[in-house]
A and B are shown apart, each in its own frame.
Chain A
Amino acid sequence: MRLIVHNMLTCNIKGVINKFPLRIEAEKVIKKEVDFNPDFLRHMLAKIEWKALVDGARSMGYTELPDHAPDTERVESDESFLKKFHHALLELHLEEGSLVCQETGRKFPVDKGVPNMVLREDEV
């Protein structure tokens, strides 16, 4: 699971209010290189919850992201920032670990890079 997906995942237990973001407990993180595409990254930047991304990256061992994303005008020219953003968003893979609901503590396992968000019968 990469942070591009983590940034969209919520706890799906009924009644939970603080369902986003899910806290990451990383057991195994791997890095896979992906082609750098600045246009794609600029599109994504507008839609990303920045704090969730920074915290998620930190949980996976990457601390290079700034606390705040630069303004859109400055991003155009700031290739070093884009490269860090690219790395955090697309190249870090959580292979094994859990996504934890901040409110209920429920852990959603990540197995071979695939998060399992299916609730058990007793949770439904």
Chain B
Amino acid sequence: MRRINSLYLRIGILKIVVGKPTKQPHTSLASLSFSTSGGYGGGGETQQNNNSSRVKIFDRDLKRRDRAAWLSRNKNDTFVDAVAENLLDRLEDCKKSFPSALCLGGSLGAVQRLLRGRGGIEKLIMMDTSHDMIKSCRDAQHDSVDKSIDTSYLVGDEEFLPIKESSVDLIISSLGLHWTNDLPGSMIQCKLALKPDGLFLAAILGGETLKFVRDAGNLLTRAGFSLPGVDVDEYVVKYKSALDLIEHLRAMGETNGLLQRNKASFLSFCRIFFSILNRETALATAAIYDSMFATEDGTIPATFQVIYMTGWREHSSQPQAKRRGSATVSFTDIQKQFGGQS
């Protein structure tokens, strides 16, 4: 593994499955890691750190700048839009309406643009750690955004949510939470900010199919959400060249902190580590990638896995599992009733 020191801490971990989404062998490419002068620890050590306490993987200043950069470069990113649309669609599955909603940073612009009155939202608060992103959203409000929704803007961090407990009906986060250093902590704070019977709706980038679904389910349960729901979608995005892919990844700045906890997966996947600075390295990696993985028509496909999570703040109206041993009918009775075979 080559290591390059640069000014900024940047650990970008991305799983890229080349070709068809399933049943392809994973291949290792040159992986590059970067360490900061700010004392967060060398790239190598942090990667191997598999403990459950909060690992400072992301430099928060950097996270802020990168998310702003992503927004400015990818205003019409169809992948981001597809994810936001899929997430917002879930609001139509609920008969409930959500008068007040908090939208956490990630694809704020896409959510704002694609909301289209779903969920019965009357009051919307848009929050991101990047001031630029917030300003950009506020400016965009003049165009296609629903003016009947009372919208406010706030610069804030989901890891340190400045929102009063039990004050919002809905929290939405599309492709934002995988940036956090402390995803479980962020989710707990989201839960606390929700009113009883409030909904948490999030889409995050995933890294590995089955294990991650279980991880996501565990996260929801441990954060104290009721009726947790997890599902996964894969999106194959085709790039004209490997450089386009790399540029997109750099712009998205996609990283997945949860992969840190799974050492085995970490070692067995194909990963590329990117620097937001080093274009020469990107070009070199792109050249190798092109020669190894281009399909017949010359395009480079990459698969992004998105995990959709839903969870509710507990409320007495929700279906609850009955106490063990409280059954009044046995399976034998049921069998007799319906004449089933033994």
User: Which residues of chain B in 130-186 are interfacial with respect to chain A, using CB atoms and an 8 Å cutoff?
Assistant: 131, 134-135, 138, 150, 152-157, 160-164, 167-168
Instruction: Using known A-B contacts A5-B125, A8-B125, determine if residue A124 contacts B99 with beta carbons closer than 8 Å.
Output: no
Q: Is A59 an interface residue (CB 8 A)?
A: no
Q: Would B155 and A121 count as touching, CB distance under 8 A? A: no
A-chain residues with CB within 8 Å of residue B157 when the two chains form the complex:
12, 117-119
Cross-interface CB contact of B134 among A20, A108, A114, A119, cutoff 8 Å = A114
B-chain residues with CB within 8 Å of residue A9 when the two chains form the complex:
154, 162-164
User: Which residues of chain A in 1-23 are interfacial with respect to chain B, using CB atoms and an 8 Å cutoff?
Assistant: 1-2, 4-5, 7-13, 20
Instruction: Using known A-B contacts A9-B164, A121-B60, determine if residue A115 contacts B122 with beta carbons closer than 8 Å.
Output: no
Q: Would A118 and B150 count as touching, CB distance under 8 A? A: no
Q: Would A114 and B131 count as touching, CB distance under 8 A? A: yes
Q: Would A114 and B155 count as touching, CB distance under 8 A? A: yes
**Cα of A75 to Cα of B125 in the assembled complex, Å:** 26
Q: Would B123 and A117 count as touching, CB distance under 8 A? A: no
Q: Is B129 an interface residue (CB 8 A)?
A: yes
Q: Would B122 and A43 count as touching, CB distance under 8 A? A: yes
Q: How far is the CB of B121 from chain A (nearest CB, A)?
A: 12
Chain A minimum-CB-distance residue to B129: A118
**Cα of A5 to Cα of B162 in the assembled complex, Å:** 11
Q: Would B122 and A8 count as touching, CB distance under 8 A? A: no
User: Which residues of chain A in 33-64 are interfacial with respect to chain B, using CB atoms and an 8 Å cutoff?
Assistant: 40, 43-44, 47
Cross-interface CB contact of B164 among A4, A8, A40, A114, cutoff 8 Å = A8
Q: Would A10 and B122 count as touching, CB distance under 8 A? A: no
Q: Would A118 and B156 count as touching, CB distance under 8 A? A: yes
**Cα of A121 to Cα of B61 in the assembled complex, Å:** 9
Q: Count how many chain B residues have C-beta atoms less than 8 Å from C-beta atoms of the other chain.
A: 26
Q: Would A118 and B155 count as touching, CB distance under 8 A? A: yes
Q: Would A4 and B60 count as touching, CB distance under 8 A? A: no
B-chain residues with CB within 8 Å of residue A113 when the two chains form the complex:
153
User: Which residues of chain A in 69-111 are interfacial with respect to chain B, using CB atoms and an 8 Å cutoff?
Assistant: 90, 108, 111
Instruction: Using known A-B contacts A8-B164, A90-B150, determine if residue A40 contacts B155 with beta carbons closer than 8 Å.
Output: no
B-chain residues with CB within 8 Å of residue A8 when the two chains form the complex:
125, 163-164, 167-168
Q: Would A116 and B155 count as touching, CB distance under 8 A? A: yes
Instruction: Using known A-B contacts A8-B163, A8-B167, determine if residue A115 contacts B150 with beta carbons closer than 8 Å.
Output: no
Chain B minimum-CB-distance residue to A21: B164
B-chain residues with CB within 8 Å of residue A5 when the two chains form the complex:
125, 152, 154
Q: Would B150 and A4 count as touching, CB distance under 8 A? A: yes
Instruction: Using known A-B contacts A40-B122, A114-B131, A118-B129, determine if residue A11 contacts B152 with beta carbons closer than 8 Å.
Output: no
**Cα of A97 to Cα of B156 in the assembled complex, Å:** 17
Q: Would A119 and B160 count as touching, CB distance under 8 A? A: yes
B-chain residues with CB within 8 Å of residue A90 when the two chains form the complex:
150
Q: Would A115 and B154 count as touching, CB distance under 8 A? A: yes
A-chain residues with CB within 8 Å of residue B163 when the two chains form the complex:
8-10
Q: How far is the CB of A36 from chain B (nearest CB, A)?
A: 13
7 interchain pairs, CB-CB under 8 A: A8-B167, A13-B160, A43-B122, A108-B162, A117-B154, A118-B60, A118-B155
Chain A residues with CB under 8 Å of chain B are 1-2, 4-5, 7-13, 20, 40, 43-44, 47, 90, 108, 111-119, 121, 124
Chain B residues with CB under 8 Å of chain A are 60, 64, 99-100, 122-123, 125, 129, 131, 134-135, 138, 150, 152-157, 160-164, 167-168
Question: Which 3 pairs show the lowest CB-CB distances between chains A and B?
Answer: A117-B162, A117-B156, A12-B160
